[in-house]
Amino acid sequence: MTKDPESLNITLNIQGSRLRLAIPRNDEALYRQAADRLNFRIMRYRESYPNIAQLPVGGHLLLAAVDTAFYLVHERKQADRTPINDRLHRLNTELEAFLSRY
């Protein structure tokens, strides 16, 4: 099997578990940042919910996953509120109307 020259094998440490991934070479820094953020969120939930008996198995990881998914959905919704193409079209129309008066 030939290896894709643009792919890279990396190992991420997520709360002591080694996760091996084959990723696009250009995305390595992003994957490592994502792992750091996930570890931070898991630690934050471990501090907030120290009694693990109150959570299902993997509860801290699940809380961090929900937190991350919520953040992503929220950011996408924020970005979708005023799509740039619609704003540019409105501004262009206003500019054309303004220029046609002079």
Rounded CA separation 7/27 (Å): 9
pLDDT tens across 67-100, in order?
999 999 999 888 777 677 788 889 999 999 999 9
Give per-residue pLDDT as tens, 8-19: 999 999 999 999
Q: Do 36 and 25 contact (CB within 8 A), yes or no? A: no
Query: Which distant-in-sequence residues (6+ apart) come within 8 Å of 67 by Cβ?
Result: 41, 45
How many CB atoms are closer than 10 A to CB 27? 14
Residue 11, classed as helix, strand or coil, is strand
The domain spans of the chain are 7-100
Q: Which one, of 9, 32, 35, 4, lies nearest residue 22 by Cα?
A: 9
